[in-house]
Amino acid sequence: MSIVVTGATGHLGRHVVEQLLEKVPAGQITAVVRDEARAADFAARGVRIAVADYNRPETFDGLFAAGDKVLLISGNEFDKGRVQQHKVVIDAARAAGAALLAYTSAPGSLRAALADDHRATEEVLIASGQPYALLRNGWYHENYTENLAPVLAHDAVVTAAGDGRVSSASRADYAAAAVAVLTGEGHENKTYELGGDEAWGFAEYAAELSKQTGKEIAYNSVPAETLRGILTGAGVPEQFAAVLVDVDGSIARGELVVSSGDLSRLIGRPTTPLADAVTAALKG
């Protein structure tokens, strides 16, 4: 029996594998990657490395074994048919008799187009008959704190989210939830709505940045089309800019407030405060 993590060298996947190494022997972990060289550090610690690609179904043949627990981390290739990519993994896990397939989805309340592939994948997974766990991850702190350069350059947080609030948490928090499900029992056919303990608004975010930098950082809420122009003018691809603007609309409507408490219950501790993520980013 192995715990198998797809996308294991991605931002979330690395956190998951690192935390699994604290819980189970390395030989019980399989890291699925497209580029074996990027997983050399895991291999050196005894993790089994499997090379496979969502776009090449044959690479998943024989990858899973009966009783495996699988974490399917959603793909990030928005233009390559993510649902079909995910179905490749689901079909392979079901055929092998995997004990559980956990999928990193999006909050059930999210109506942005970004959620469409997640809802469709959930439908495929449930219909497959494969025992599943839906990890409906909310927004990550790092979506903001890893891109502070333009904020600090212009002394302004700019969104089209108005007074909307976000229940974000750190990638490490969401990874801890996945690890809890993969190493625990009784998670079959469960859905978890995951988000940070404290929802925050962008005026508060700007205030926290001001506090920690000693600069006066304003919050400017702008119309959606204005934000789209700002993003594309800064070199953000049109398709991705549209996704970001759409998500801001969801935030404005309250769709990224997650009040279930599922995340802190799964990880057995409070979620990481946004202020801690800001501190880490500024130090980095």
pLDDT digits (tens, 9 = 90+) for 45-99: 999 999 999 999 999 999 999 999 999 999 876 666 899 999 999 999 999 999 9
Query: Residue 268: pLDDT band by 50, 70, 90 thresholds?
Result: very high
Q: What are the structural domains of the chain?
A: 3-137+170-194+259-268 (3.40.50.720)
Side chain identity at residue 74, one-letter code: S
CA 116 to each of CA 12, 20, 284: distance values in angstroms, whole numbers, following the listed order: 21, 30, 34
HSE (side-chain half, CA atoms, 13 Å) at 253: 11
Give the 3-state secondary structure of residue 204: helix
Average pLDDT, the chain: 96
Query: Residue 281: pLDDT band by 50, 70, 90 thresholds?
Result: very high
Region 224-242: mean pLDDT is 95
| CA dihedral sign of residues 229, 231, 236, 237 | negative
pLDDT digits (tens, 9 = 90+) for 169-216: 999 999 999 999 999 999 999 999 999 999 999 999 999 999 999 999
Structure confidence at residue 80 (pLDDT) = 61
Q: Is 189 exposed, middle or buried (0-12, 13-18, 19+ CB in 10 A)?
A: exposed
Q: Note the pTM of the prediction, 2 decimals.
A: 0.96
Which pair of structure tokens corresponds to residue 119?
């809802």
Identify which of 100, 244, 122, 94 has the alpha carbon closest to the alpha carbon of residue 193.
122
Query: Residue 1: pLDDT band by 50, 70, 90 thresholds?
Result: confident
Q: What proportion of the chain, given as a percentage, has pLDDT over 70?
A: 99
Structure confidence at residue 75 (pLDDT) = 83
Work out the widest C-alpha separation in the chain, in whole angstroms: 57
Structure confidence at residue 127 (pLDDT) = 98
| DSSP letter for each residue of 241-277 | HHHHHHHHHHHHTTTT---S-HHHHHHTSPPPPHHHH
Structure confidence at residue 223 (pLDDT) = 98
Region 264-277: mean pLDDT is 98
